[in-house]
Chain A
Amino acid sequence: GENVEQHPSTLSVQEGDSAVIKCTYSDSASNYFPWYKQELGKRPQLIIDIRSNVGEKKDQRIAVTLNKTAKHFSLHITETQPEDSTVYFCAAAVDDYKLSFGAGTTVTVRA
Chain B
Amino acid sequence: DTEVTQTPKHLVMGMTNKKSLKCEQHMGHRAMYWYKQKAKKPPELMFVYSYEKLSINESVPSRFSPECPNSSLLNLHLHALQPEDSALYLCASSQVAGGLGLAGNEQFFGPGTRLTVL
Contact B99 A44 (CB under 8 A): no
Residue numbers in B under 8 Å from A95 (CB-CB)? 97-99
Residue numbers in B under 8 Å from A97 (CB-CB)? 31, 48, 94, 96-98, 105, 107
- Nearest Cβ in chain A — how far from B57, in angstroms? 12
- Per DSSP, are chain B's interface residues mostly helix, strand or loop, or mixed? loop
Would you list which residues of chain B between 37 and 51 have a CB under 8 Å from chain A? 40-45, 48
Contact of A101 among B42, B96, B98 (CB under 8 A): B42
Assembled-state Cα–Cα distance A32/B99 (Å): 12
Contact B45 A49 (CB under 8 A): no
Contact A96 B105 (CB under 8 A): yes
Assembled-state Cα–Cα distance A104/B38 (Å): 12
Question: Considering only CB atoms, which chain B residue lies closest to A87 in the complex?
Answer: B40
Contact A96 B100 (CB under 8 A): yes
Contact A43 B110 (CB under 8 A): yes
Proximity string of chain B (84-118) to chain A, C-beta cutoff 8 Å, 1 when within and 0 when not: 00000010001011111010111111111000000
Contact B43 A53 (CB under 8 A): no
Contact B43 A45 (CB under 8 A): no
Would you list which residues of chain A between 87 and 101 have a CB under 8 Å from chain B? 89, 91, 95-101
Assembled-state Cα–Cα distance A100/B94 (Å): 15
Contact B42 A45 (CB under 8 A): no
Contact A44 B109 (CB under 8 A): yes
Q: Which of B42, B94, B99 has the most CB of A within 10 A?
A: B42
Can you pick out 17 interface pairs between chain A and chain B where the beta carbons lie within 8 Å of each other? A42-B111, A43-B110, A43-B111, A44-B43, A45-B109, A46-B106, A46-B108, A51-B102, A95-B98, A97-B31, A97-B94, A97-B98, A97-B105, A98-B56, A99-B107, A101-B42, A104-B40
